[in-house]
Amino acid sequence: MSGPQARPVGDPVRAWRRLVDTAVLLDGFHTLKHAVRFGAEVPVAVTVDRAAALALADDLAPDVQDRLAGLLHEVPEETYRSLVARPHPTAVAALAVRPSRAAHLAALARTPRTTPVVVLDNPRNLGNAGAVIRLAAGFGATGVVTTGTLDPWHPTVVRGGAGLHFATAVERLSVADLPPGPLFALDPEGDDIRGLKLPDDAVLAFGSERSGLSAELRSRADHLLALPMRPQVSSYNLATSVAMTLYHWSAGAF
């Protein structure tokens, strides 16, 4: 295997235990790959099989292979298992420094904005939140804001987002503090989205899986928009609704 060898950064297990309470867990090769690609600061990364991890990098992520080679420390399988709650098939795990909230708030507030912000109003499902962050990263959205109690940096959300939290600004805010821009709230009772071009500075809000949009968000919305749906179907899944809406924005943006 070509590329640099692991740097002698001391004992990775001690570093892990020192950082784990405040850092973001990057669970699996693909999550680490995306995080590194989008500029995450990664103080410690471990794997059970360094050669296998670097072979994966050679195959799937040659752009970051050298950086992964510099980060990954091989540890015994039992050590790896003692560090993570749920072992990943790639047996790779790392810790990243959580990006600064102040920097994210500045990015979300910056105008003029060239891509939308996605708002999840009191989401309940960690997997949905991760899928939405992955979508937002893919479409180059400015950020994903959640309201309510769910932590958008929860390890399960980061795993669902495949490490793409580092490619967009992810923060939790109250409805009163949403970023500036016209607020388009998605609701099956709204006007057909197909009649409208979504502006680049749109704030696109989606309701909770259980109860839809909160009264507070609804009262602040400038427009209520519906995705086309055959009669007798009540609603779409939250993440698929975000996917359709971002696609609609992107199709009108060119």
Interface with ligand SAM by CB under 6 A: which residues? 186-188, 206-207, 209, 211-213, 226-227, 229, 235-238, 241
Q: Which is nearer to ligand SAM, 32 or 118 (CB)?
A: 118
Which is nearer to ligand SAM, 74 or 209 (by Cβ)? Answer: 209
Closest distance between ligand SAM and the C-beta of residue 199, in Å?
18
Task: Give me the least distance between CB of 20 and ligand SAM, in Å please.
Answer: 33
Q: How far is CA 179 from CA 7, 39, 67, 215, in A?
A: 41, 24, 35, 18
* Cα(61)–Cα(70) distance, integer angstroms: 14
State the minimum distance, in angstroms, from the CB of residue 192 to ligand SAM. 9
Instruction: Assess contact for 206 and 212: CB atoms under 8 A.
Output: no
Positions of E strands within 103-182: 117-120, 143-146, 169-172
Q: CB-wise, 140 or 188, nearer to ligand SAM?
A: 188
Whole-number minimum distance, CB 84 to ligand SAM, in Å? Answer: 31
Beta carbons of 124 and 149 less than 8 angstroms apart: no
Sign of CA dihedral 218, 183, 115, 170: negative
Minimum separation from the CB atom of position 16 to ligand SAM (A): 37
Minimal distance, residue 187 CB to ligand SAM, in Å: 5
CB-nearer residue toward ligand SAM: 87 or 199: 199
Q: Are 30 and 137 in contact (CB under 8 A)?
A: no
CB of 231 to ligand SAM, least distance (A): 11
What token pair was written down for 172? Answer: 């939790």
**Of residues 55 and 229, the one with the C-beta less far from ligand SAM:** 229
Q: How many CA atoms lie within 13 A of 132 on its CB side?
A: 34
The residue (of 235 and 250) whose beta carbon lies closer to ligand SAM is: 235
At which residue do the structure tokens 């752009």 appear?
63
Name the residue nearer to ligand SAM (CB basis): 57 or 213: 213
Residue number with the smallest Cβ distance to ligand SAM: 207
Q: Which of 124, 154, 134, 144 is nearest to 27 (CA)?
A: 154
Residue type, 101: R
